[in-house]
Amino acid sequence: MAVSKDILTWYEGAWHRGNAPIIGAADHAAWLGSQVFDGARQFDGARPDLDLHSARIIRSARAMGMLPPIDAETVQGLLEEGCAQFAEGTALYLRPMMWARDSGLGVIDIAPDSTAFAICIEALPMPEPGGFSLTVSPFRRPRPDMALTEAKASALYANNGRIMAEARARGYSNALSLDADGYVAETASTNVFMVRDGVVFTPVPNGMFLAGITRARVIGLLRADGVEVVESSLTLDNFDQADEIFVTGNIAKVMPVARYQDRVFDATPMADRARVLYWDYALSRERHLV
């Protein structure tokens, strides 16, 4: 199911309006899940860190064992070309993706040079702060020796999906998930931060979650603004004692948590500060597109 009805797809050298079919029934990805993707955003006339997202899809494909048929600079150029075909001011979600068409000699492995490439661009408004809630998931994240955790691989998202579904069934927007060692990793779809006594804490990258591009940008912006940001192994007890919590990711960029379990946060000053810093960065003159 598409997230929008206003969709543009790039496939096999051309742009197509709508949710174009791109994967064949016998493609390796269709039955063995060998797809990688990335996500970027356009909002308020800006596409922050598009170069980094374009580079990450290449790294993810290589981690999966694919030979990318395109380089990062060309990916970025095509994303910019596609965005220009939407009405000015449209908020967009940009997804380049690669997958294997053919199997290798072992059938379940991939043929590296069979890698296909497509882009899906969808109109998607930026979510507004307010009402975002978190619980704790019973499902954990795998170690690097259990799954291809260094890639933004579609196969990992079956676990993310059940984390999200279970949380929503209990009336929450999302859920914290623990890693295999019992520390907080991230949510089903975002990286997570907590604040205690004016210091910002976030889980240290340990290979059991994807340390996102927006996460890294927010850490840098907060530190440049004089905020102490600590990456460390965090427990649920740490989050239970947090003064506030916020999340970062491509859909909303920076989102304050209004409720964690049974706790309601009446104010989220650090999250609000992080949002202002991120928007200032994204809309700065050197990165503005119009």
Q: What's the pLDDT tens digit per position in 91-111?
A: 999 999 999 999 988 889 999
Sheet containing 244-249: give its strands across: 229-232, 199-203, 191-196, 244-249, 253-256
pTM score, whole prediction? 0.94
H helices of the chain, in order, are 28-32, 50-63, 72-83, 157-169, 213-224, 236-240, 269-282
Backbone φ and ψ for 11, nearest 5 degrees, come out as -155, 130
Complete domains list, the chain, with CATH: 7-123 (3.30.470.10), 133-282 (3.20.10.10)
How many other C-beta atoms lie within 10 A of the C-beta of residue 168? 15
The pLDDT score that the predictor gives to residue 290 is 41
Measure Cα distances from 184 to 198, 203, 218 in Å.
20, 7, 19
**pLDDT value for 289:** 46
CA 143 to chain centre: 19
How far apart are the C-alpha atoms of 275 and 199, rounded to whole Å?
16
pLDDT digits (tens, 9 = 90+) for 218-275: 999 999 999 999 999 999 999 999 999 999 999 999 999 999 999 999 999 999 999 9
User: Is the pLDDT score of 194 beyond 50?
Assistant: yes
